[in-house]
Every structure is written in structure tokens, then in C-alpha cells.
Chain A
Amino acid sequence: MAIGAPDAVIKVQDLVVELDTRRVLNGVKLDLLRGEILGFVGASGAGKSVLTRTIIGLLPKREGLIEVLGVDLDKADDRAKQAIDRRWGVLFQQGALFSSLTAGKNVEFPIREYLGLSAKLTTEMAISKLEMVGLKPDVYRNFPSELSGGMIKRVALARALALDPEILFLDEPTSGLDPISAGEFDQLILTLQETLGVSIFMVTHDLDSLHRTCDRIAVLGDGKIIEAGTMDQMLGSNHPWLKSYFHGARAHDDWHVEVKG
């Protein structure tokens, strides 16, 4: 049973994480609502990646509660955890494609392991996913080492989407992309949200991307969530770090205008 609001797909409460006795997260409370895009920001080294990796189970936590799709990950057995793994997709910052497999086989990997479809349908679905993220079908045959950074991110996104997940974790999806590709990527994320109804948890430093895609923004500082709310709330905040972040040299003046979508 879900503890909080019924439509929270991820619920994090009082999370404490320590890395080698250093307390990185100290009482984080955060919800990801169904169907929303949550932008997650914070200074470099504030623990954004640590929080993401803790939620997806790559790092152990000291205290607190993490509930994904109504399942408490502490109490879930291996089968329940695997069932959850199927229902989320993770896009790592560097793509993390398997370098010994072609792009297509990378996307097929989770499909083959989990769904046991015919070879024909598996391949068709992989191609369909690649096309869905804006790649040509023939990228299927390329190895990751033959692809550009932007293409690697797209293939990685296709792999994250392979099982039609309900939750998508994106770790700096637009970092290292040129403004045009980054803009396309933003558009792609919005389209995915619309067509597939996925809930997206996005760690990013890209202010344009935050502004264009995110329904809500959460800010991490001093091991806690300083502020969570819409872009307008962020812009109106008096917190010194938020002020310098959202009103700094790289911010635009026209952000109060709604441009999403």
C-alpha cells in the first residue's frame, strides 16, 4: 500500500545516505507524481547522483524509506524487486551502452531477457524504439564506438524505454549535446511523456531544459531538498543559492512566460 498521495510513483522519506562516514544526504523527502517531469538540480557534489543511485538501488541507504510504484524496496523480495526493475528505465550520463553489442542488440537486451518474444518481434520493437528516439533504423547495426555522443544518448534512451517503463530516470540527458540536439532531446522527452505517459525524474544543469520540459523542480542542497515546486516558485524564491542559480548570468528574463509544450 502506498503511504502518501496515491498518485506518487516514487516516494522518498527521511532518506539518509552515507559514503565512507561522510553524510551526503540527510533527511531527503521527495515525491515523483504520476505522469510528471521532475527536474532535479543542485550544486555539483551536492549529492544528486547519490540520490538517484540510491533510489534505483545502486547505493545502500542508512535510514529512511523509498517506495517505488507502491512497493517498499526494503521489504520487497528479489522477485518483487525484479518486477520493479522492469517498470523503470535508467539513462546513465555516459549512456552506459554495452560496448560489445550493436546499438540494436543493446535495445533488444532487456526485451529478450524479460519478454521472451519471437526474434522477429524483438528486432521490430528495437527498431521501433530507435525510430521513436529519432534515429534511423540502420543505426541498429552500429556499435556504440561508431556513434556520436548525441546518438549514444539516444540509443541509451531507446534502451531505457525498451520495456515501456512507467518511470524514467535521466541523468543529465542534455549534457554534452549541442543546443540543437539538446532542444530536440527536450522535445523528445515531452513527446514521450505525452504518448507513453511516463513519469520522468531528470537530473540536469541545463536551465533551458528545466524551463522547457519540467512540471516541477526540486532543489538539493546541504543534503536536503531546499525547495520543490514549479519554475515560477523557483524564480520567486529568496533562498540565496536558488537566486544565484535561477537569476545568474546564464538565466533569461523571459522565463516567467509559459513556453512548455
Chain B
Amino acid sequence: MTAGTLLSGQVTAGGLGLAASGSWTAEHARTLEPLIEHAIRSDTAVQRIIIDVTRIERLDTYGAWLIERTLRVWTSRGCDTRIVGLSDSYGNLFKKVRAGAGKLTPLPRRSNSITATLESVGRTMGAVFADILLFSQMAGALVIAFLRVVAHPTKFRFTSMVNHLERVGWHAVPIILLITFLIGSILAQQGIFHFRTFGADIYVVDMVGVLVLREVGVLIVCIMVAGRSGSAYTAELGSMKMREEVDALRTMGFDPVEVLILPRIFALIITVPILTFLGSMAALYGGGIVAWLYGGIDPQVFLARLHESISVKSFAVGMIKAPFMAIVIGLVACVEGLQVKGSAESLGAKTTDSVVKSIFLVIVLDGAFAIFFASIGV
């Protein structure tokens, strides 16, 4: 089928006749549009337009709209417009297209760039405070749910918690062991490499021991858990929110915090310290192996040195942080999950937010703990 054409016909006193022919359909719309534009731009002085459509072979909504648009432009210029030769079958189509307004109501004008920047800064700050409010709200709801469960222990979703324990705990063990082992090895290797220049190889043991037990073990584990389980929590709760499962729970008289969130956060509180312990041991093991193979520090010497340099205190400092970090990760993940709106995009955005915010807060919390322990002299 050949593309449609639009021919300027006879020009009578102040009037213009246009003849359309051929195929005015979607696949030819691309070639038709310039023709129409051209026709509108030329001949601005006419008072009467007649478009002859007798020789149009095929017409669909695209062709009909293009002709209708031309007519509207000319009508708005005060022209008298008319279509001739319209067959009955296409008449209906034309009526349907003509019935529409074809325009959006204009949006209010955007403010200029300086106020827009200020506005976006303001909105961001607003969002930060809204977040703080939401986190406190969720923390409060959690405490209430916890107290309710303490009063009626049978209400606690034990099966759900065990399920989550398996998923966030047991299934995370291999990857946590692997990563912390590698981190421990790298710490030891870097330490030996640099300490060797001034003959202080043996202090690598102190460094690895203190660093791993106090800071690195728990941080690496928390970052892994936030990326692995926090994101999963957000995505699960978010898709439940999207499909109105959360609302269904609420209408049946259950508190979503008690049913969905409490078991998840409990699972994290139990899991993160265990993973921290396992991770720290794996990191020390990795450090020991590298010290032996790369630095020539005998395992017995390593252990003896470790014994001298660290105490139960360093171990306790690391472990005590773990459950708090777990609460932060769980809280952020669940709050973000419940913030999901209807679209797939918002699910993705909230999952990203959840991971970014929980890792950020874990590091901030770690800093706060460091200040606290330093000031009480531990």
C-alpha cells in the first residue's frame, strides 16, 4: 500500500482545496506528518479550506487525527473548514476522533532553577525528618508488640521466626565465612607487607586480633546481612504491601508488626551475633594462615601473641554491638518495605534505600559505639 499524499489543489478567491489520497494509516503516519505540517505553515492567508478525502483508500485513527488536527489549526485561525467525500464507514471513525479534546490541561509553570534547587533541598530535609519519625514510630510499635508477646507468649510466631533464622542465619554462614576469611587474610598480608620494613612483623598479630574482634568482624557481617537479608525483608514486605496482604492482615484483626516484623527482627537479633562470632573466627583463621605462609609466623607463635594482645574485653566490645546493629538493619528494612507504593519501580527504589540506609546507619552506630567505649576507657 502506497503512502498517502496531500495535494494542494485549486486556489479560488481566498479558498484552498486540498486533496488527500492513498493510505492514511499508522505505518505511513511518519511520512504524512511533514505533509500536514507543510500544508499548515504555507497558505496562512486563506479563509476557506476544503479537504477532499474521496480518494483515500485506507484510513485509521492516525490518518483521521492528522486531518482533524489540520482542520483545528485552521479553524483556530478563523478559517472556514470542510471535509468532502467522506464515506460512511470512515464517518464514524472521524466522529470518534473529533469527539476528543486532544489536549492536556496545562500544568502550573515550573519555578526557576534557584528556587527549584532550594525547594529540592527543603524536600530532602523534610524526607530525612519524616524518616526519623517513621523509624521512631516503628521502634515504638515494635516495643508494644514485644510487650504484648511477653504478656501472651503463645502469640509469638515461633515457626515464622525459625523459618527466618534458617534463611538469614544458616544460609548466610558459607558466604559470611568466606568473606571474613578473605578480609582477615588481606589485613594480615597488608600488615606484614608494611610492618616488615621496620621489622615489626609480629605486631601484625595484635593489629589483626584487635581490628577483627572490635570492628571489622561485626561491620563486615552487618554489611553483608543488610545487603543479603535486609533487602530480602524489604522486598518481601513491599510486595505484600503491593498486593494488599498487609491490609488483609489488618482487617482480620492482626497487627502486621506483631505477625510479620517481630519474628523477622528477632531472627536478626539472634543471627547477627552468631554470624559475627563465626565471621571473627574465620577472619582470625585467615589472618593466621597468611601470617604463617606469607609472613613466616609460626601458628604457635601467632596464637601465643594473640593471647597476649587481646582480652575478653575486645571480643565483648565486638559482640555487644551485634544485636544493636541487627535491630537497626531490621528496623530500616521493615520500615522501607511498608513504604512501598503500587509500582514495581517503587519496590526497587525502596529496596535500594533499605540497603543504603541500613549500611549507613550501621556505620554511624559503630562510630557512636567507638566514642562511647573510648570515653568509658574500654
A positions within 8 Å CB-CB of B: 99-100, 115-118, 121, 124-125, 127-129, 131-132, 137-138, 140-141, 143-146, 161, 163-164, 191, 194-197
Contacts and interface: CB of A to CB of B under 8 A. Distances in A.
Interface in B340-369: 341-345
B80 interface: no
B27 A137 contact: no
B39 to A, nearest CB: 15
B104 A129 contact: no
B101 interface: yes
A121 B101 contact: no
A131 B99 CA distance: 8
Contacts of B96: 132, 191, 195
B55 interface: no
Contact of A137 (B69, B93, B103, B341): B103
Contact of B61 (A99, A125, A143, A145): A125
B372 to A, nearest CB: 44
B102 interface: yes
A137 B101 contact: yes
Which residue, of A118, A128, A163, has the highest number of chain B Cβ atoms within 10 A?
A128
Given A131-B102, A137-B102, A146-B342, 18 more contacts: A99-B343, A99-B345, A100-B344, A115-B29, A121-B66, A127-B100, A127-B103, A127-B104, A128-B97, A128-B102, A131-B100, A132-B100, A137-B100, A137-B105, A144-B342, A161-B61, A164-B26, A195-B95
Contact of A164 (B33, B62, B66, B99): B62
B27 to A, nearest CB: 7
Interface in B61-91: 61-62, 65-66, 69, 89
B341 A145 contact: yes
Interface string B1-42: 000000000000000000000000111011001000000000
A124 B345 contact: no
Chain B interface size, under 10 / 10 to 19 / 20 to 34 / 35 or more: 20 to 34
Contact of B89 (A143, A146, A197): A197
B76 to A, nearest CB: 15
18 contacts: A100-B344, A100-B345, A117-B29, A117-B33, A124-B65, A125-B62, A128-B100, A129-B61, A131-B99, A131-B102, A132-B97, A132-B100, A137-B101, A137-B105, A141-B104, A143-B342, A164-B25, A164-B60
A152 B29 CA distance: 27
Chain A contact residues, majority secondary structure: helix
Contact of B342 (A99, A121, A196): A99
B26 to A, nearest CB: 5
A132 B65 CA distance: 12
A116 B97 CA distance: 21
B104 A137 contact: yes
B26 A115 contact: yes
A226 B102 CA distance: 46
Nearest to B93: A195
B60 A145 contact: no
B163 interface: no
A162 B344 CA distance: 23
B247 to A, nearest CB: 14
A260 to B, nearest CB: 17
Contacts of A145: 341-343
Nearest to A118: B33
A191 B26 CA distance: 20
B343 A138 contact: no
A48 B62 CA distance: 33
Nearest to A83: B27
A127 B343 contact: no
A129 B33 CA distance: 18
A105 to B, nearest CB: 12
Contacts of A124: 65, 69, 102
Contacts of B62: 125, 164
B190 interface: no
